[in-house]
Amino acid sequence: MGGGGKPLGDSVFAGHAAAGAAAISASAVAVHPLDTVKTLLQLSATGSKQKMGLSHVVDRLMAASGPAGLYSGIGWSVLSKLPGLGARFGTYELLTAFYKDGREDNYVSYSEAMLAGIAAGAVESVLCTPFELLKLRSQIGSVKPMKATGPANITNETFPLVSKLLPGYVPDIRIWNGTVSLLSNLSPKHPDMMGALKQHPWMLTGSGKPPLPYDVHVPSRVIALEGWGTLWRGLRPGIARDCVFGGMFFSTWQFIHTAMLTWSAVNVNPQPRKLEEAGPISPFASSIAAGFSGVVAAAASHTFDTAKSRSECTVIPKYIAMERRFLKWKAPGTWIERKTGISPADRNVLFRGIGLRMARSGIASIVLVGSYYFVVDQVLCRLAAMWSL
């Protein structure tokens, strides 16, 4: 009997939960530098002819923030992975348990694994999107240039409603003066036309520029300027990305797992009646299989990842979003681009950073599965020692 009177089942469950949290945190920390460089590479292209290379992105990052910039947004990354990966694997296990219910063996077909992975990816995307937006804004801040000061920029004190209704907004005095000069030809009925115009935020939105993404990375500023709904900006390409990733990851992993069991069963005498009786797969082999599956899944879903990153990088004040709804503005592009949130302007840059994302996903999957098996083994050994006393 073990001490404390705590049921063994509860201790085992807590051990698996702790192992999962530790493995997720370890994998997120291990690959975050690759994720930061990948994100900056995706966002550095402003056109088909204006693309920064990998070396230029790294040099700019090192010059602006140093090595610490590689870990910008690491906190948001861990916070997104903990519920996201938990939901991914939890949903997958729940659906595959439904598939296997009533079967003599525990076999899951490749198509069933893909369908379960697609559903798991959709759940993961909904949970992770707010954290990923804040993580991306923090990563952009790692290459934040020095703020320019000059006669073109004026402070918010000149426009009293800016700080309340358009936080982070940067008016341009030259464009503003041009607007006033155009209206000066009208017969004014107000003694202070310019002062009156400053009280209308709708006029301000058309006479300057919105703040840059790295100036809107704190949750309070994001919500104040863009509204609560912006936390789920990029949800459409995010769901497309995670559904494709989940389906490809779990179906590939199931294929490799079945192949390894079949290979093991060849050397078993007598031949096992069920495939799972051929013996468990070693943690090292499972980790390598997960890494290869992650590489394949990342390659298949990368275009949606680029679309999601570029969508979350865009700052749209809530007043402009409201104006678009009033005007019934429709997103451009083909049907599939509108449904998946891909901008037609990004067609030539959708594959930027694919090598970095494949490496990141492969390493993260290896570290995730390997560290999970290692921590579980250590925890279960300690529990067994405690209950043997």
Tell me, what's the pLDDT at 17?
80
- What's the Cα-to-Cα distance from 375 to each of 14, 111, 371, 382, rounded to whole Å? 12, 31, 6, 11
Residue 351 DSSP code:
T
Global model pTM greater than 0.85:
no
Residue 309: enclosing H or E segment and its boundaries? helix 283-312
Spans in the chain with pLDDT lower than 70:
1-13, 15, 46-51, 145-176, 178-180, 182-210, 268, 271-273, 275-279, 379-389
Tokens found for residue 47: 């056109």
Quote the pLDDT of residue 277: 67
Q: Cite the beta strand spans of the chain per DSSP E.
A: 170-171, 208-209
pLDDT of residue 142: 87
pLDDT of 331 reads: 82
Please report where in the chains the tokens 């320019």 appear, as a residue. 148
pLDDT (0 to 100) of residue 190: 63
Phi, psi for residue 153 in degrees, rounded to 5: -105, 140
Provide the pLDDT for residue 77.
94
Let me know if 265 is exposed, middle or buried by CB neighbors in 10 A (0-12, 13-18, 19+): middle
pLDDT number for residue 84: 92
Residue-wise over 114-130: b if at least 16 C-beta within 10 A, else e? Answer: bbbbbbbbbbbbbbbbb
- In the chain, the largest separation of any two C-alpha atoms, in whole Å, equals 100
The domains of the chain, with CATH numbers, are: 16-145+221-344+356-388 (1.50.40)
